[in-house]
Amino acid sequence: MKSAMKNILITGAGRGIGKAIALKLAEKKHNLMLTARSQQELDNTAALCRNKGANCEVYSVDLTDEMATIALFEVFFHKFQRLDVLINNAGMGVFKPLTKTSLNEWNKVMSTNVGSAFLCCREGIKIMQHQKDGTIINIASVVGLKGYLNQSAYSASKHAMVGLTKVIAEEYKKDGIRAHVICPGGYIFSKRSLLNIY
């Protein structure tokens, strides 16, 4: 498993954790498709991945848009023919007291952090069911395991990500699909991280 080349889709890959994941997997020469809203950030990450010898495609998309997300997976399947690993990392945060958080801010955080993961999991699972194999890795947060001050919307979205992953793991294990959730704090992606299994 460790030496086999995988076809991997990474969301939120333009910066931060998503970029770090992409660079780590590029070292293993996997086939990557990187997504984010910022084309410039994607192009930068992709260039670094290609310098490591990886086959790397980019696709700028708003993952809160259902039809755009469906199109992403159609493009991915057309390009690679199978989806081995889906990594849902796209996210954002609003950090303020609950009484100062608007409904618009709440909805935007939930839509970006867990709504996009729901859509990606739904479309990715359709491909993986046909293969009878696949791995989903959802990036949540330590905030998805306990409450922190001034993080009501962000914490709720990350708790939801944990719950979503648990349900997927149960519902689709019969199809050979594995679902994992990572709850990082600061600087979790060390040389001994979960990413080393790929």
Angle between helical axes of 152-172 and 116-131 (0-180°, round to 10): 10
Q: Rounded distance, CA 37 to CA 59, Å? A: 9
Contacts with 114 (C-beta within 8 Å, 6 or more apart), sequence order:
157, 158, 160, 161, 164
What residues are paired with 135 via a beta bridge? 85, 178
Under a CB-based contact definition with an 8 Å cutoff, are residues 11 and 36 in contact?
Answer: yes
- Token pair recorded at residue 151: 């993080």
59 catalytic residue (yes or no): no
Q: Catalytic residue among 154, 172, 187, 198, which? A: 154
Residues with catalytic function: 154
